[in-house]
Amino acid sequence: MINMSEEKKNSVDVKGFKPRSVVYAKKLDGGFSDALAGFYTAVWAEREDGLSKKEKHLLVFAIACSNLKTESALKILQRLKKFGASAQEIKDAMMIAAWTGGIQNFTDLTPKILEEMERLEF
């Protein structure tokens, strides 16, 4: 069984920094913070025959784009770079986002995403 300090470390490993929800929860209650860290770790765990971290990040990227969560999408791009996503995989996710979130969201979001992709050298 994984202990709670290990759960918090795992959540930092996935995100690159401690998730704000875990930090805020600790201010309320240590047990609540531990529970959130465990939830975070469970969601992002790689399982046999499951989605890879790259695939999960592509999914959340598409969801962020479709909901016009530009800041989140830009942060996720950095994680996608770390997990070896290709430019075409990101473009495919953006097209799925346009399909589900509407073309206006795509139009509003795309310039910032393309600029960040160029900066990250996708």
Considering the chain, what is the average pLDDT of its residues?
Answer: 86
| 52 SS3 class | coil
The residue ranges of every structural domain in the chain are 4-44, 53-119
Task: Give me the pLDDT at residue 14, please.
Answer: 53
Residue with the bigger pLDDT between 24 and 50: it is: 50
Is-contact 64 73, C-beta < 8 A? yes
Instruction: Give residue 77's identity as a one-letter amino acid code.
Output: L
Residue keyed to tokens 């075409």: 88
Is the confidence at residue 74, as pLDDT, over 90? yes
Task: Give me the pLDDT at residue 3, please.
Answer: 52
